[in-house]
Amino acid sequence: MPFEDEPTIYADRPQPSEEINELARRVIGIAIEVHRELGPGLPEEAYEEALAIEFDARGIGYKRQLVIVIEYKGRPVCRVRLDFLIESKLVLEVKSCEVVTPIHRKQTLRYLRVRKLPLGLIINFNVMVLKDGVHRVYRPEPVE
């Protein structure tokens, strides 16, 4: 189910499966717990480590700081790291910044395209109430 900030112009395109949406809800719940305990204002690494502890405790599979290759015209031009790949189905980018910008969204969208995934989350922990820091990034193109 899309959040209010997610464009609805893609309603005619395939949506993330209920399984992926449920996984996203679980990850958001875990992030809320981490935020309640740690609060805002810490470096991203603190939130990443706390999330990893919670994922381990709940048996949620993930890869952390996963290196992916960005190509230009079929040739590698750089390697980037995505914060978390959850259960090989969901990209999670962790932020601790003043505001999530369109560049953060584009970055996450790029990761979704490279991994051929439909949904990512950007969670900014530098907010007073975590629901204000949760952003869904949806890849409307059909997933191969």
Q: For residue 17, what pLDDT is reported?
A: 85
116 band by pLDDT with thresholds 50, 70 and 90: very high
Domain borders along the chain are 18-133
Q: How far apart are CA 69 and CA 77, in angstroms?
A: 8
Q: For residue 105, what pLDDT is reported?
A: 95
Q: How far apart are CA 84 and CA 66, in angstroms?
A: 7
Question: What size, in residues, is the chain?
Answer: 144
12-28: average pLDDT: 87
89-106 per-position pLDDT tens digit: 999 999 999 999 999 999
Q: For residue 15, what pLDDT is reported?
A: 76
Say which CATH topology domain 18-133 has.
Answer: Endonuclease; Chain A (3.40.960)
Q: Give the pair of three-digit tokens for residue 2.
A: 């899309």
Say which residue, 141 or 54, is predicted with more confidence. 54
**Residue 7 scores a pLDDT above 80:** no
Q: How far is CA 80 from CA 27, 53, 97, 110, in A?
A: 22, 23, 19, 11
Cβ-contact 93, 122 below 8 angstroms:
yes
1 band by pLDDT with thresholds 50, 70 and 90: very low
**Residue 75 scores a pLDDT above 70:** yes
pTM of the model: 0.87
Q: For residue 2, what pLDDT is reported?
A: 46
